[in-house]
Amino acid sequence: MELTYYSDYAVRLVNTEQPERGEDTLTSVEAVRELFGGAQQAARRATESDVTRLRTVRARLRAVFEAADRGDEVLAVDLLNALMMEFPVSPQISGHDYRDDGGTSRSWGSPRSNGVESGGGVGSGVGRPKWHMHIADHAANATAGFTATACMGLAFHLTELGVDRLGICEAKPCRNAYLDTSTNRSRRYCSDRCATRANVAAYRARKRLESGRTADSAQEPQASAARGER
């Protein structure tokens, strides 16, 4: 469903903090506005108060991802439900494009898509609106609007794809949240960079272990000979 797109809002917010590194980029109104991406109208409402509000929401969303990562599905759902009750959404049907009779999408104002705008109906054969679900923003402040959108997107992602699609990066010290969209549910890291770093670390650990075993094997004959001499 298209609303799963909004689940990325939750990921972006959670990953403004690197708890293992003691780093936090959510420190200003500008940082809050960057979270909204292309939703500039909603971002313009952000104030200094939203920095503190969103930090609180961030901690609660991270708890959702951590519960899911541990396999505690019930807790993850309960935590997300609590957020959605506190920050409800108002879904509505919206249309930004038209489809011609052949099913091709055309933007508003396109020469062949102005039938509805000029009074032509769905049955006029000129064009049909391309409808989709949209989250209406009637929130009292920027934090409420962002949180409602993020939680609804995350809820759709969770119910459509499964709780196990929410994860926390295994590459230490990174603890970024991620959404697993792989076909075989095999994702373990938030990015290719973290995956590479973890693989290199594992490779080096194996080499150290092998070197230790080789050294032990080399010392055994010497130790046996020394025991025989005595």
| pLDDT tens-place string over residues 208-221 | 777 766 655 656 65
Residue pointed to by tokens 């934090």: 143
Q: Assess contact for 54 and 146: CB atoms under 8 A.
A: yes
pLDDT in tens, the chain (230 residues): 466 778 999 999 999 999 888 999 999 999 999 999 877 788 899 999 999 999 999 999 999 999 999 999 999 999 999 999 999 887 778 776 665 555 555 544 444 433 344 444 444 445 678 787 767 667 789 999 999 999 999 999 999 999 999 999 999 899 999 999 888 888 899 998 999 988 886 777 777 777 766 655 656 655 555 565 55
Looking from the CA of 185 toward its CB, the CA atoms found within 13 Å total: 7
Tokens of 164: 């196990």
At 113, give phi and psi (nearest 5°): -125, 20
pLDDT digits (tens, 9 = 90+) for 4-58: 778 999 999 999 999 888 999 999 999 999 999 877 788 899 999 999 999 999 9
Q: Assess contact for 65 and 179: CB atoms under 8 A.
A: no
Q: Assess contact for 53 and 61: CB atoms under 8 A.
A: no
Sheet arrangement for strand 105-107: 105-107, 90-99, 128-136
Q: Assess contact for 14 and 177: CB atoms under 8 A.
A: yes
pLDDT at 220: 60
